Structure 1
């Protein structure tokens, strides 16, 4: 029931913030698999990749075509996101068990500080300190960012949106567009990460239980998706109207909640 409730939350965050279930799901899957000890983080990261894959695919499918048109020339970016994600997922299988957990905590903390202190997210602006008068013309996300974003997202299980939403926002997109575009970008990251995770690794062999396929906890993933998918369908049809600045603050507040959850789970 806890996982189902968190699934409802991931449905909301997928639509409103572009979080396909990644760092929202990781803390609760770590908790649900506490019996796996140090391997719980690996299972949580792999399970969140599957949840992100399905949520992001569904959210992308029901996103208006004119919004997705902003990624029309981003083929190289999507390819590099996938390549980076594959490398990050492989690194997770061989890294010390606690590294991903504390890397997750540190990365989200640095992201919160960056969003608070650096102009462009809460205080949209242009170089030289001039506030942009219009956010209609947005720059494309540089393709060179694809590999590092994909690698960090897959390794830590944070989901690409933790990096892509701030980057898209600073590129000139309003929050409602930046969060919508985060879903297809997350899809490019989650696909190779999920494929590798389903093949599993010997690190959890001693703790294996019948709900694990590779490193993915199918029971947890199923409960999370059962809660998320109906919410995505409803909110994509009737998205709430949130002022852009309040939207940005809500994104930041959610990062803070997840940071606290991960600290408590550690």
Structure 2
């Protein structure tokens, strides 16, 4: 049952990587928590670390098959990418030592506040590209450390902050979600390195064979087995979705994640 669940969620992460720029974090954290519930309070820590590994591969592959002219839109952000990576390293390091219960509810609160912001504050559900003077703007470099730190600490990849920010800067949903993948890679790669080198204190004495540091390699492999073929197909033949419908679907997925995390344990 766990195998089928992880493969199915892997397919879903492939879809969310292409359509929403998520890379898998919001979808994989709840399911890995459920699969590794036997680890007790360490389940959240393992889930966030495993999520980072899945996001590295998903976001890296999605970035590699993205046309260069689309990726060129990230130019002009100064040192955004290295600052995202620096923040992610710090966030992942803190996550190794943070109590799992508060981290889990911080995850729920983070997504809930983001969803409320999308629904209540102008600029996300309605496109603004046509009203943005001078066209879409790059994200400023100073947002890198806080986005990287929060995203790595919670195992969410950062797209929940970068997609709305790029949307409000004048990008369409399609472009904002595509550009979220290389930014997710900048966050997830250093977070994965930190996670592979650390281990959750309560499980070090009896480390399960499928764990390396705080990463569940078995779960990560099954999730990627489901995700990568989907990313390849959808990048080659992306579905046509109306911009506003795309934005509402993004908000609806955040609502589903909140419910999943609230009900998982």
TM-score normalized with structure 1 length: 0.95
Give CA-to-partner distance per residue, 1:104-131, whole Å, 9 cap, x none.
Answer: 0000000010000000101345xxxxx9
**Matched-pair contact (CA < 8 Å) for 1:45–1:157:** yes
Aligned partner of 1:51 in structure 2 is 54
Q: SS of 1:138's equivalent? A: coil
Match of 2:140 in 1: 142
* Residue 235 (structure 1) aligns with: 234
The residue correspondences of 1:15-30 to structure 2 (distance < 5 A) are 15-30=18-33
The aligned counterpart of 2:172 is: 174
Q: Residue by residue, what CA displacement relative to the aligned partner does 1:44-94 show, whole Å, maximum 9, x if unpaired?
A: 000000000000000000001111001123350001100000000011011
Q: 2:2 aligned with 1:4, yes or no? A: no
Deviations 1:140-196 (A, max 9, x none): 101110000000000011221011000010010000000000000000000100001
2:122 to 106, 116, 119: 119
| Structure 1, unaligned runs of 5 or more | 126-130
Which deviates more, 74-83 or 235-244?
74-83
Tell me the residue number matched to 2:198: 200
Mapped contact 2:127–2:172 kept (Cα < 8 A): no
Q: Distance in 1 between matches of 2:78 and 2:216?
A: 31
In structure 1, the residue matched to 2:184 is 186
- Residue 88 of structure 2 corresponds to 85
Query: 1:264 — aligned with what?
Result: 263
Indicate if the aligned counterparts of 1:77 and 1:143 stay in contact, CA closer than 8 A: yes
For residues 143 and 206 of structure 2, what CA distance do their matches in structure 1 show? 37
- Is the CA contact (8 Å cut-off) linking 1:136 and 1:173 kept in structure 2? no
How many angstroms apart in 1 are the aligned matches of 2:192 and 2:79? 21
Aligned length in residues = 261
Partners of 1:202 and 1:117 in 2: CA distance: 38
Relative to structure 1, the CA distance from residue 56 to residue 135 in structure 2 (aligned partners, 3 Å threshold; closer, same or farther) is farther
The answer for the alignment partner of 1:128 in structure 2 is none
User: SS of the counterpart of 1:38?
Assistant: helix
Tell me how far 1:135 sits from its aligned partner: 9.2
Which residue of structure 1 aligns with residue 76 of structure 2? Answer: 73
Q: How far, CA to CA, are the matches of 1:136 and 1:258 in structure 2?
A: 36
- Cα displacement (A) at 1:136: 8.3
Taking structure 1 as reference, are residues 17 and 112 closer, same or farther at Cα in structure 2, changes over 3 Å only? same
Structure 2, unpaired ranges of 5+: none
The answer to which of 230-239 and 154-163 deviates more is 154-163
